[in-house]
């Protein structure tokens, strides 16, 4: 029997309506037909491992059991990766199959995502040779321990101390206060035996700023914390339950001199400090991960959209016309308004990620040739795109959840967990406002340079164009809308700059003036991000190699994104661009037309994300649309349904009812 025949008939009809080749979309989204094949092949290999299947949903496990199950599966998954590499002589292709296995977050995320990259990015060739083979083969397990109870954003304020002792050629690590305790690092709780510790370096009583050090914190055989190490887990959170976030404090804990990662700055045997060419290179891992998070946002938006769109095609409720049967909820324009922006945004983030990845690779290449000119642009762009995409993606996931009504509140829909995990990215790897203010610093500098007629970096060069084009009439085209967002950014950057000047003229110093203007500065950064997202995604769609049928639909999605945000931020556009009320009315109508045009392809579009049922892990979103059957099947797995009468009846309910009779 084919999959189609087992499918819910609504989904079969939806798929028959699709006007483009879904496989073409999948191949375009993931890069090529070959990439799709390889990814699916690897996913098959992972899913074939029986031990990776959960006996009961994780929600029924205790906090401890959930973690232990997570570690168990993470180690098996690691073997599958190793075997693939041995067989194919290369890493597995990019994939999201970890989601199908570890439903939440892997306790090894920080090992792979930050510990290994920090050694690779911050270590000398000798240090890389010492630790990378052990870390990559999992002989040692590590994390990235930077944030403390007292400081996360302001990392120059970290209190963990590394004092150099030239007599023994060691660093002595100490956490002198409660607020200096490391707090948050993933895997630290009970998983890792090593970590990169970011600490304040002191030599002969003099501070030399923060630097990364490698510390072994647990015995490799017994896993017991080494003497001088206090380590534990921080407890349940909104999500990340299996990430095993932990705390850590050192008491006169000694590590050899070679354990300071010394690619940038060095401490010589005699205690001489050799400054690096740029102290901000120490923050390199964070930049890399911020770029990766933009890609993650695409995935989470796709996952939530797939669940909510398929569910909305299957779910019937009320009537559009009294004379007709109950409508699929996907036919309500309000539902399309809630969901299609998530589909469109996933594509926008994907294109922005690919664009950022190129910028990152170029800058890394330049840095390896000691050329730093483009580092500030990379930092500023990664900060604002990470900040805006993560917040938007979180809101989109929540909107998808709400769009599934009561069933979206069920854990088995996988939307609550997905929200908890997505929204965490607003905070980790740089809190949203803090990152937007970093971009604002860059924008203020760019603005001052623009005023002096200097050449600007590509990502802000529109500021110069906007300066020249401020009188040109609005154009209701995608290109015109992109320009409109650039004008808004231009207007907000200018206004924030002038606000700072105003406060300074009133006698405030620059720092106070900055703080007083900071709401505007954050908004300027957001507008700058929106301008980038609109420009990059529209250009990607226009230059794509898609067939005419697919290209038409992708252009509709990109236009939907542009129009949605035009209408959402119409006040800004009226203030800072030449858009008129009439233009907005035309765009409102255009937006409604786009929803209607996208509607027949909605299911095809989410099929085009090619997320397997195991990855979706949702009663509402499976390919076959057996929503109600799955909801009941999952409910029956509840431990409360494994007995006809629960003991609480005899212990509490019956006595209560008997007492009530007296
Ligand atoms: C590959 C795929 C990856 C996918 C994802 C994989 C894994 C996910 C992994 C983990 C997720 C889960 C866990 C998360 C882990 C974490 O959260 S780790 C901890 C992250 N912590 C932060 O992000 C802290 C945020 N704070 C900062 O980054 C800095 O403190 C801040 C930049 C906010 C300020 O730093 P400060 O030293 O105070 O700088 P100033 O404001 O004084 O500015 C000085 C100048 O330096 C420039 N600058 C700052 N940062 C950088 C940088 N990274 N690169 C280049 N330049 C930088 C800044 O712009 C200033 O320049 P000007 O003086 O204006 O010229
Ligand atoms: C799920 C999760 C996983 C994490 N994993 C790790 C990890 O593996 N390793 C690690 O080292 N860390 C990790 N972290 C910590 C994370 O990086 C920090 O929480 C994050 O950088 C924010 O710092 P904070 O908590 O100190 O927030 P704060 O800086 O205290 O933010 C609180 C508020 O203060 C505001 N604020 C702070 N500074 C400024 C400013 N200069 N201007 C204006 N407003 C400001 C913020 O905007 C925010 O509204 C993780 C966090 C989470 C949630």
Q: Residues lining ligand 2, CB < 6 A?
A: 110, 144-147, 151-153, 184-186, 240, 245, 424, 427-431, 433-434, 437
pLDDT at 4 over 50: no
Q: What is the distance between the alpha carbons of residues 134 and 79, in angstroms, rounded to a whole number? A: 15
Distance CA 420, CA 411 (A): 11
Minimum CA distance residue for ligand 2 atom 43 = 434
Query: Could you state, in order of their start, the residue ranges of all structural domains in the chain?
Result: 109-276, 467-607
What does DSSP say about strands 142-145 and 182-183: parallel, antiparallel, or unpaired? unpaired
Of 155, 225, 143, 147, give the one whose Cα is nearest residue 182.
Answer: 147
Q: Which DSSP letter does residue 209 get?
A: E
Radius of gyration of the chain (CA): 27
- Contact of 533 with 348, CB cutoff 8 Å: yes
Interval between CA 287 and ligand 1 midpoint (Å): 6
| Residue 454 three-state SS | coil
Ligand showing the shortest atom-to-Cα distance for residue 154: 1
Give the chain's mean pLDDT. Answer: 96
**Does the pLDDT of residue 39 top 70, yes or no?**
yes
How far apart are the CA of 415 and the centre of ligand 2, in A?
24
Ligand 2 pocket test, candidate residues 104, 107, 153, 210, most atoms within 8 A of CB: 153
Hey, which of 379, 422, 431 would you mutate to test ligand 1's pocket, going by the most ligand atoms within 8 Å of its Cβ? Answer: 379
Q: What is the mean pLDDT of residues 403-424?
A: 98
Determine the pLDDT at residue 236: 97
Tokens in use for 222? 């017994």
Q: What is the pLDDT of residue 2?
A: 46
At 6 the pLDDT is: 84
Of 16, 60, 73, residue with least CA distance to 614: 73
Distance, in Å, from the CA atom of 648 to the CA atom of 498, rounded to the nearest integer, reads 67
| 241: phi then psi, degrees, rounded to nearest 5 | -65, -30
Q: What is the widest separation between alpha-carbon atoms in the chain? A: 90
Q: Which atom, in ligand 1's list, is nearest to the CA of 382?
A: 53
Report field, pTM of the whole predicted structure over 0.95 = yes
Whether the per-residue pLDDT at 186 is higher than 70: the answer is yes
- The arithmetic mean of pLDDT across residues 435-443, rounded, is 98
Q: Are 536 and 381 in contact (CB under 8 A)?
A: no
Of ligand 2's atoms, which has the minimum distance to the CA of residue 105? 1
The number of helices, as runs of H, and strands, as runs of E, in the chain is 26, 11
Gap from CA of 353 to ligand 1 centroid (Å)? 18
Up-side HSE of residue 542: CA atoms within 13 Å toward CB? Answer: 9
Cα distance between residue 375 and residue 361, in whole Å? 11
Kind of pairing between the strands at 161-165 and 194-203: parallel
Closest by Cα among 351, 350, 431, 421 to 383: 431
CA dihedral of residues 632, 633, 639, 641 (deg, nearest 10): 50
Q: Identify the CATH number of the domain defined by range 467-607.
A: 1.20.140.10
Compute, in degrees rounded to 10, the torsion defined by CA atoms 179, 184, 185, 187.
Answer: 130
Residue 507 Cα to ligand 2 midpoint, Å, equals 32
Query: 165 has which bridge partners?
Result: 170
The atom of ligand 1 lying closest to the CA of 152 is 24
pLDDT score for 242: 97
Structure confidence at residue 465 (pLDDT): 83
Q: At what angle do helices 333-368 and 375-402 cross, to 10 degrees?
A: 160
Ligand 1: list residues with CB < 6 Å: 109-110, 113-114, 144, 146-147, 152-156, 186, 280, 283, 286-289, 292-293, 296, 375-376, 379, 428-430, 434, 438, 441
Is residue 455 packed enough to be buried (19+ CB in 10 Å), middle (13-18) or exposed (0-12)? exposed
- For ligand 1, atom 50, the nearest C-alpha belongs to 280
Nearest bound ligand to the CA of residue 199 = 2
| CA 226 to ligand 1 center in whole angstroms | 30
Average of per-residue pLDDT across 637-658:
97
Q: Place 470 in a pLDDT band, splitting at 50, 70 and 90.
A: confident
Alpha-carbon distance of 584 to 200, in angstroms, equals: 54
Q: Hey, which of 110, 145, 148, 152 would you mutate to test ligand 2's pocket, going by the most ligand atoms within 8 Å of its Cβ?
A: 152
Centroid of ligand 1 to alpha carbon of 387 (angstroms): 12
Q: Is the pLDDT of residue 5 over 70?
A: no
Please give the pLDDT value at position 310.
98
Q: How far is the CA of 283 from the centre of ligand 1 (A)?
A: 6
Q: Which atom of ligand 2 is nearest to the CA of 144?
A: 9
Portion of the chain with pLDDT greater than 70, in percent: 99
From the CA of 146, the nearest ligand is: 2
Closest residue to atom 12 of ligand 2, CA basis: 147
Q: Locate 340 and state its tokens.
A: 């299609």
Confidence of residue 1 (pLDDT cuts 50, 70, 90): very low
pLDDT higher than 60, residue 76: yes
Strand 194-203 to 142-145 pairing: parallel
- Output the CA 434–ligand 2 centroid distance in Å: 9
User: What tens digit of pLDDT does each residue of 139-159 get?
Assistant: 999 999 999 999 999 999 999
Span 349-394, pLDDT tens digits: 999 999 999 999 999 999 999 999 999 999 999 999 999 999 999 9
Q: Is 429 a catalytic residue?
A: yes
- How much is the average pLDDT of 116-144? 98
CA torsion 239-561-472-488 (nearest 10°) is -10
Q: How far away, in angstroms, is 383 Cα from ligand 1 center? A: 8
| Ligand 1: residue whose CA is nearest its atom 1 | 292
3-state secondary structure of 9: helix
CA distance 38 to 119: 29
Catalytic residue among 14, 58, 399, 429: 429
Q: Which ligand is nearest to the CA of 297?
A: 1
Ligand index nearest the alpha carbon of residue 280: 1
Protein residue with least CA distance to atom 44, ligand 1: 280
Q: Measure the CA–CA gap between 226 and 223, rounded to whole angstroms.
A: 9
- Regarding an ipTM greater than 0.95, the answer is yes
- Which atom belonging to ligand 2 lies closest to the Cα atom of 240? 1
DSSP 149: S
Closest to 45 measured CA to CA, from 609, 614, 610: 614
Name the residue with the closest Cα to ligand 1, atom 40: 438
Q: For the domain covering 109-276, report its CATH number.
A: 2.40.110.10
pLDDT digits (tens, 9 = 90+) for 368-379: 999 999 999 999
Residue-wise pLDDT for 66-75, tens only, equals 999 999 999 9
Strand pairing of 229-233 and 246-250? antiparallel
Q: Taking Cα atoms as reference points, which of 628, 647, 139 lies closest to residue 412? A: 628
Which tokens belong to 325?
A: 């049967």
CA 194 from centre of chain: 25
User: Which of 114, 363, 429, 445 should be mutated for ligand 1, with most atoms under 8 A from CB?
Assistant: 429
- 130 CA from centroid of ligand 1 (Å): 27
Ligand 1 pocket test, candidate residues 192, 197, 280, most atoms within 8 A of CB: 280
Kindly report the protein residue whose alpha carbon is nearest to atom 53 of ligand 1: 283
């Amino acid at each position: 029997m084919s999959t189609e025949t087992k499918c819910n008939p609504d989904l079969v009809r939806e798929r028959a309506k699709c006007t483009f080749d879904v496989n073409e979309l999948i191949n375009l989204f993931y890069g090529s037909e070959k990439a799709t094949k390889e990814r699916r092949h690897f996913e098959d290999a992972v899913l074939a491992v029986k031990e990776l299947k959960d006996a009961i949903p994780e929600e029924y496990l205790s906090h401890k059991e959930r973690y232990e199950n997570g570690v168990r599966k993470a180690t098996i998954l690691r073997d599958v990766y190793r075997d693939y590499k041995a067989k194919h002589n290369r890493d597995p292709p990019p994939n999201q199959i970890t989601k199908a296995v570890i439903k939440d977050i892997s306790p090894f995320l920080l090992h792979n995502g930050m510990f290994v990259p920090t050694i690779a990015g911050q270590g000398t060739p000798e240090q890389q040779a010492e630790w990378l083979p052990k870390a990559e083969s999992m002989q040692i397990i590590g994390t990235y321990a930077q944030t403390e109870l007292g400081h996360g954003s302001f990392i120059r304020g970290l209190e963990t101390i590394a004092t150099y002792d030239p007599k023994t050629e060691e660093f002595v690590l100490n956490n002198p206060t409660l607020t200096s305790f490391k707090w948050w690092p993933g895997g630290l709780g009970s998983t890792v035996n090593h970590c990169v510790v970011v600490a304040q370096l002191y030599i002969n009583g003099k501070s030399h700023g923060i630097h990364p050090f490698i510390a072994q914190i647990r015995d490799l055989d017994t896993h017991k914390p080494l003497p001088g190490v206090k380590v534990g887990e921080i407890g349940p959170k909104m999500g990340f339950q299996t990430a095993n976030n932990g705390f850590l404090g050192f008491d006169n804990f000694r590590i050899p001199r070679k354990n300071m990662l010394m690619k940038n700055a060095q401490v010589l045997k005699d205690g001489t400090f050799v400054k690096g060419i740029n102290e901000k290179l120490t923050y390199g891992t964070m930049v890399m991960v911020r770029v990766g998070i933009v890609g993650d946002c695409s995935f989470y938006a796709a996952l939530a959209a797939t669940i909510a769109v398929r569910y909305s095609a299957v779910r019937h409720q009320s009537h559009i016309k009294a004379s007709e049967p109950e409508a699929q909820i996907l036919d309500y324009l309000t539902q399309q308004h809630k969901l299609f922006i998530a589909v469109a945004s996933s594509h926008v983030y994907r294109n922005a990620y690919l664009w950022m990845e190129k910028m990152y690779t170029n800058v890394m290449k330049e840095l390896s040739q000691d050329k730093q000119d483009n580092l500030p642009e990379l930092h500023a762009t990664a900060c604002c795109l990470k900040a805006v995409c993560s917040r938007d993606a979180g809101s989109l996931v929540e909107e998808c959840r709400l769009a599934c009504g009561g069933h979206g509140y069920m854990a088995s829909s996988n939307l609550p967990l997905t929200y908890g995990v997505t929204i965490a990215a607003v905070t980790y790897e740089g809190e949203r406002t803090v990152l937007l203010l970093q971009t604002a610093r860059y924008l203020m500098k760019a603005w001052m340079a623009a005023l002096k007629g200097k050449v600007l970096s590509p990502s802000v060069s529109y500021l110069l164009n906007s300066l020249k084009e401020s009188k040109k009439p609005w154009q209701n085209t995608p290109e015109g809308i992109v320009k409109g967002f650039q004008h808004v950014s231009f207007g907000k950057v200018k206004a924030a700059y002038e606000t700072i000047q105003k406060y300074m003229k009133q006698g405030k110093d620059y720092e106070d003036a900055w703080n007083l203007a900071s709401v505007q500065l954050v908004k300027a950064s957001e507008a700058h991000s929106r301008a980038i997202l609109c420009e990059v995604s529209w250009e990607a769609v226009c230059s794509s190699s898609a067939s005419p049928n697919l290209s038409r639909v992708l252009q509709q999605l990109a236009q939907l994104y542009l129009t949605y945000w035009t209408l959402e931020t119409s006040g800004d556009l009226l203030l800072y661009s030449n858009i008129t009320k009439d233009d907005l009315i035309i765009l409102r109508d255009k937006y409604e037309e786009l929803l209607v045009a996208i509607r027949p392809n909605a299911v095809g579009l989410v099929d085009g994300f090619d997320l397997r049922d195991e990855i979706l892990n949702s009663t509402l979103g499976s390919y076959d649309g057996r929503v109600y059957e799955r909801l009941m099947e999952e409910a029956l797995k509840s431990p409360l349904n494994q007995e006809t009468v629960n003991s609480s009846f005899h212990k509490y309910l019956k006595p209560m009812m008997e007492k009530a009779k007296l």
